[in-house]
Chains A and B, each alone.
Chain A
Amino acid sequence: MRKDIVIKVYRDRDTHNMLMLGGIAGLGAVLGAVGAYYNLDSRDAARAVSPKMPTSQPWTATQQADFDRAHSSGVKAGIFYGLGGAAVLASVVLFIATAPGEESTVIHPHYAIAPTPGGAFVARAWSF
Chain B
Amino acid sequence: MRPWMLAMSSTLATLALAACSPDIPSGSYECGPNAACPDGQACDGPTNTCVIASTANPFACDPGLEHADDSPATGTIVPQLTCVSPVFSQPGCLAANDGQDWFQFVAPTGCTALEVKISVAYPVAFQPLALVLGDATGAQLATDTACKNLPPGGEDLRCITQTITPGDAYAIAVKPLGMGDDCDGTCNFNRYSLSIQLDTP
Contact = CB atoms under 8 A, between A and B. Distances in A.
Contacts of A55: 28-30, 153
Contact of B153 (A39, A57, A66): A57
A50 B25 CA distance: 8
A71 B33 CA distance: 22
A58 B25 contact: no
A30 interface: no
B171 interface: no
A64 B152 contact: no
A68 B119 CA distance: 36
Interface in A42-86: 42-43, 45-46, 49-51, 53-61, 63-64, 66-67, 70-71, 73-74, 77
A60 B156 CA distance: 13
Interface in B142-180: 152-154
The interface residues of chain B, by DSSP majority, are classed as loop
Interface residues of B, number: 27
A40 interface: yes
A56 B20 contact: no
A36 interface: yes
A60 B22 contact: no
B121 interface: no
Contacts of A71: 21-22
Contacts of A57: 29-30, 153-154
A74 B20 contact: yes
18 contacts: A43-B17, A43-B20, A45-B22, A46-B22, A49-B38, A51-B28, A54-B28, A54-B49, A55-B28, A55-B153, A56-B153, A57-B30, A58-B124, A59-B32, A60-B33, A63-B38, A77-B17, A77-B20
Interface of A: 36, 39-40, 42-43, 45-46, 49-51, 53-61, 63-64, 66-67, 70-71, 73-74, 77
